[in-house]
Amino acid sequence: MKTVLITGATSGFGWATASSFLLQNHRVIITGRRQERLNAFIQQHKSYQENILSLCFDVRVREEVEKKLYNIPEEWKKIDILINNAGLSRGLTEIQNGEYSDWEEMIDTNIKGLLYVSKVVVNMMIERDIEGHIINVGSTAGHEVYPKGNVYCATKHAVDAITKGMRLDLLAHNIKVSTIDPGMAETEFSIVRFHGDIERAKKVYEGFEPLRPEDIAECILFIANAPKHVNVAQILLLPSAQANTVTVKRKV
Ligand code: NDP
Ligand code: 8X3
């Protein structure tokens, strides 16, 4: 039984991944800003209740991240796997028309938030001599830049660079570092990107079958379950109808 911390488990990939780890009899620490969603997760997994710890915090607020993580009960501090999944996009806009608040939210969440959580958890692993595993959720947007995706793509390129840097730095501590880089998946991602415009968000996935959160969860389980001597360093996961960030075969 491993202890797995999943950021952004209140929705989408994070929820599905936490659920999959629980069903494989691991202990999960689920996080997110929406307390009611954390409660709903526990409610939906009632029979596994003793294997769930929920922490409500905003990854952008460093003091909050440190306070919440350093104060978890001692028996939960032996974290084996960290899944850095919390993230978002805001807006789809030419660079000259971008909103500062959107840029700041993406940079603060996807880059700085990931760093804040990682630093604490990595140190907890090192202090306890745990042969841990960090799995970052990147994106195809970390491989290519698409029109109007400027800052979101930049944050996911940063996640790619941080993943590579972590792999170098943590080698000495026997901590594996991997990334899963999905293409288009239908979650709350586009609703958040378009600030709650559900109709616009739906259109993103019209005419083809996007990835489902469970597809990503399955890959994360595969990465986590690899034998000790194997690091599945990177998975690029696309819907069959997607060739790259801008080329999608849609039924007309
Ligand atoms: P969702 O919007 O469904 O889930 C995002 C999760 O991140 C939520 O649980 C949300 O929780 C959490 N989150 C966002 N901001 C913060 C914050 N400031 N502090 C704490 N938690 C936060 O989207 P996905 O499941 O699709 O996205 C998960 C990850 O996958 C993201 O990093 C995204 O960039 C990436 N991705 C998504 C793809 C897609 O097509 N959907 C493709 C490739 C990568 P809460 O709101 O409760 O805080
Ligand atoms: C999410 C995938 O193509 O919508 O990272 O940016 S995309």
Ligand 1 and 68: CB distance under 6 A = no
Please count the structural domains in the chain.
1
- Residue 85 C-alpha to ligand 1 middle, in angstroms? 6
Among 7, 194, 185, 197, residue whose Cα is nearest residue 90: 194
Query: How much is the average pLDDT of 217-237?
Result: 98
The band of 144, judged by pLDDT with boundaries at 50, 70 and 90, is very high
pLDDT given for residue 175 in this prediction: 98
Taking the CB of residue 159, how many other CB atoms lie within 10 A of it? 24
In sign, the C-alpha dihedral spanning 113, 114, 118, 119 is negative
SS3 231: coil
| Nearest ligand atom owner, CA of 106 | 1
Ligand 1 and 86: CB distance under 6 A = yes
Average model confidence (pLDDT) for the chain?
98
Ligand 2 and 140: CB distance under 6 A = yes
| Tens digit of each residue's pLDDT (9 = 90 or more) over 60-118 | 999 999 999 999 999 999 999 999 999 999 999 999 999 999 999 999 999 999 999 99
- Residue 1 C-alpha to ligand 2 middle, in angstroms? 33
Residue 246 lies in a domain: no
Ligand 2 and 184: CB distance under 6 A = yes
Ligand 1 and 245: CB distance under 6 A = no
Residue 7 has pLDDT above 90, yes or no: yes
Ligand 1 and 142: CB distance under 6 A = no
Among the atoms of ligand 1, which is closest to the Cα of residue 110?
Answer: 32
Kindly calculate the radius of gyration of the chain based on its CA atoms and give it in whole angstroms. 18
Are 107 and 159 in contact, with CB atoms under 8 Å apart? no
The band of 202, judged by pLDDT with boundaries at 50, 70 and 90, is very high
Q: Which domain holds residue 25?
A: 3-237
**Burial category of 35 from C-beta neighbours within 10 Å (exposed 0-12, middle 13-18, buried 19 and up):** exposed
SS3 83: strand
- Residue 172 C-alpha to ligand 1 middle, in angstroms? 30
Are 181 and 138 in contact, with CB atoms under 8 Å apart? yes
CATH number at residue 125: 3.40.50.720
Active site residue 152: yes
| pTM reported for the whole predicted model | 0.98
Query: How much is the average pLDDT of 229-245?
Result: 98
SS3 215: helix
In sign, the C-alpha dihedral spanning 22, 135, 210, 99 is positive
| Tens digit of each residue's pLDDT (9 = 90 or more) over 45-60 | 999 999 999 999 999 9
Among the atoms of ligand 2, which is closest to the Cα of residue 152?
Answer: 6
Residue 247 lies in a domain: no
Ligand 2 atom 6: residue of nearest CA? 141
pLDDT given for residue 142 in this prediction: 98
**Structure tokens, 158:** 């940063």
Residue 220 lies in a domain: yes
Residue 244 lies in a domain: no
Residue 56 lies in a domain: yes
Among the atoms of ligand 1, which is closest to the Cα of residue 89?
Answer: 34
- Residue 15 C-alpha to ligand 1 middle, in angstroms? 10
From 88, 93, 188, 245, the mutation candidate for ligand 2 (largest count of ligand atoms within 8 A of CB) is 245
Annotated catalytic residue: which of 100, 116, 152, 205? 152
Ligand 2 and 187: CB distance under 6 A = no
pLDDT given for residue 252 in this prediction: 83
